[in-house]
Amino acid sequence: MKPELTKLFAHLKKDYKIIAPVKKTRGIFLSRINDPKKVCFSAELTKNTFKEFLFPKKQTLFNFQGDKLIEPANSSYPKQAIFGISIIDLRALLVYEQVFRHDPYYQNYRNNSLIIGYLSLASTDQTFGIFEERLEEDTLEHLEFDVFALATPAGIHFFSGSSKGRQALIGAGIENFENIEYVGPVRESGLDPLMMANYKKVKNSFERHRLVWEELGRRCLACGKCSLVCPTCFCFASDQVFGQTKRTGRKTRRWDTCFYSEFSRVAGGHKFLDTIAKRIYFWYEHKFVRIPDEFSIPGCVGCGRCIAVCPVAIDLRQTLKDLAQPPKTMKQLVKK
């Protein structure tokens, strides 16, 4: 391991639980580690993402005793340093930072976490051609992170993105680092042109490209795997769970997915998204239309995880290509 990183991990271990990429039989996963020697520095995309550490699969919103609601104590949020987040996933983190800006639970997790981005110049581009992972001069100033580590042939080059990050680096005895001031998620040159191109393809396309969506609806099993692995998927549902003693329990929230048929069900039984075609369109619409409209940033960061896990080989790149074509009529399809 690079000596600078050894120093950093040794320092962080004092205050933080360390989460870092670890090689397992099925790939590289962000995992809790005790021994920094286990960290994988290949900078390949991890199978899982930061999201389960900042927005757990299930979390308590309130404990209740009778009618009284009690918020979880601050000590229930782990102090964690998450190392090895790629630029692609930092772009997804931007979505979370916007979406959960007013969410006290996310903010508690985030405030207790140290986000450490990582890129190795030696690694190959792993994007799926949707967005690029290239590090450009202005890349880092549009990302939110605490520390960023760039592995170059000459050694690790560090950047700090927050005062928390600076403190961590100085505490570890790393004096040689660059300060990056976050200037917001959107580049000075304006909205991302690729985001805008995809926006036009997807927006209101359900009727226009009915055959594309219906075909996807036929193939898709609505298993929800894509939304589980997607680093920008964050929808949730809440439940009430009773405790062991009388009139006690918890209000919790858990990850949900718009692929499940219950997602849009209202009291009385009506489901507004009553077909898989409507639900898969809803998913694309969220990524390529709703998030850009709300926050001016892409809702798909091009990590390709949805493509890798889909059991019926639905490929987002192909969908975007199909939507760029003039809409097909039934006649044309029959001829084919």
- Encoded tokens for 14: 């004092």
Closest separation between CB of residue 151 and another protein, Å? 36
For the chain, helix, strand, coil in percent to 5 are 40, 20, 40
| Residue number with CB closer to another protein (64 or 131) | 64
| Residue number with CB closer to another protein (99 or 314) | 99
CB 11 within 8 A of CB 171: yes
Q: Specify the pairing of strand 80-85 against strand 17-24.
A: parallel
Closest separation between CB of residue 144 and another protein, Å? 18
Give me the amino acid identity at 212: V
Closest separation between CB of residue 248 and another protein, Å? 9
Q: For 63-116, where are the alpha helices, taking DSSP H only?
A: 87-99, 104-111
Closest separation between CB of residue 257 and another protein, Å? 10
Interface with another protein (CB under 8 A): 61-62, 64, 66-67, 69, 71, 99-100, 102-104, 107, 204, 206-207, 234-240, 242, 247, 249, 251, 253, 256, 258, 263-268, 272-273, 278, 281-282, 285-286, 289-290, 293-294
The SS3 call for residue 147 is strand
Q: Is 137 exposed, middle or buried (0-12, 13-18, 19+ CB in 10 A)?
A: exposed
Closest separation between CB of residue 74 and another protein, Å? 12
Q: How far apart are the first and last CA of the chain?
A: 56
| Residue number with CB closer to another protein (7 or 208) | 208
| Residue number with CB closer to another protein (21 or 298) | 298
| Residue number with CB closer to another protein (104 or 311) | 104
Closest separation between CB of residue 295 and another protein, Å? 11
CB 241 within 8 A of CB 252: yes
Give per-residue burial for 110-126: e unless 16+ CB within 10 Å, then b: bebbbbbbbbbeebeee
| Residue number with CB closer to another protein (29 or 62) | 62
